[in-house]
Amino acid sequence: MRVSVLGLKQIIWQGMTNEVILPTDEGEVCVLDFHQPFLVKLSKGDIRLGADVSNVSVTEGIARMHGNELTILVGA
């Protein structure tokens, strides 16, 4: 899937991966290729972008899956 992690003024990470782990209030959510569409609020934690990509720490944000594209908007 195509993943974009966007900050307030910059692109933090953009690329292709087959798995992303998102921190949410209800626990971690695993997103795989062609996941069902969703919109979720992120909580404090690490976004894990596949096995060979660094983690991205977040304090808050939202994630939207549509088609095979995951867009993650994170706060400061």
pLDDT digits (tens, 9 = 90+) for 2-51: 999 999 999 999 999 999 999 999 999 999 999 999 999 999 999 999 87
pLDDT at position 70, please? 98
**Nearest-CA neighbor of 57 among 40, 70, 75?**
75
pLDDT given for residue 4 in this prediction: 97
Q: What was the pLDDT predicted at 76?
A: 56
Distance CA 2, CA 45 (A): 21
CATH numbers and ranges of domains, the chain: 2-74 (2.60.15.10)
pLDDT at 52 over 90: no
